[in-house]
């Protein structure tokens, strides 16, 4: 193996050491996974509030936004798991489904208002 073919790895972090590039180096799929979990918790919190505080527009808005975002990220997982879309197109899939979700969100919000 030639010298220029070797890969230079950075030294591992020590316990308690902070990596300033951690967020930048996270893959887009990890962010999508994290946001789907956050919206799941938001739905768990907002749904009982929606049942108790009926006809609160701000609450309906937040719940619809959380459900729409959670559904678009879930659709991403389904498309990737069933190999309907290749992983190489994950970034385009996330942005495309998010855009589609925002369009659906605006249409539904406009129809129920």
Q: Which residue has the tokens 């509030």?
A: 49
Percent of the chain with pLDDT over 70: 88
**How confident is the model at residue 63, as a pLDDT?**
96
Higher pLDDT, 45 or 30: 45
Q: What is the mean pLDDT of residues 7-13?
A: 74
Indicate the CATH number for domain 27-112.
1.20.1300
- Label residues 23-48 b or e (16+ Cβ within 10 Å = b): eeeeeebeebeeebeebeebbeebee
Distant-in-sequence, close-in-space partners of 104: CB < 8 Å, separation ≥ 6: 68
How would residue 21 be classed by pLDDT, with cut points 50, 70 and 90?
low
Q: Three-class SS of residue 19?
A: coil
Is the pLDDT at 1 greater than 60? The verdict is: no
pLDDT digits (tens, 9 = 90+) for 42-69: 999 999 999 999 889 999 999 999 999 9
> What's the whole-model pTM score?
0.76
Q: How high does pLDDT run on average in the chain?
A: 88
**Best mean pLDDT range from 5-9, 62-66, 84-88, 109-113:** 62-66
- For the chain, the domains span 27-112
């Amino acid at each position: 193996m030639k010298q220029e073919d070797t890969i230079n790895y950075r030294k591992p972090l020590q316990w308690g050491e902070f990596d300033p590039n951690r967020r930048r180096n996270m893959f887009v799929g990890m962010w999508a996974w994290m946001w789907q979990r956050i919206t799941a918790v938001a739905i768990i919190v907002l749904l009982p509030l929606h049942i108790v505080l009926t006809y609160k527009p701000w609450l309906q808005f937040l719940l619809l936004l959380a459900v729409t975002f959670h559904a678009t990220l879930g659709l991403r997982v389904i498309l990737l798991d069933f190999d309907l879309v290749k992983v190489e197109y994950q970034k385009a899939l996330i942005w495309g489904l998010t855009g589609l979700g925002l369009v659906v969100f605006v249409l539904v919000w406009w129809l129920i208002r």
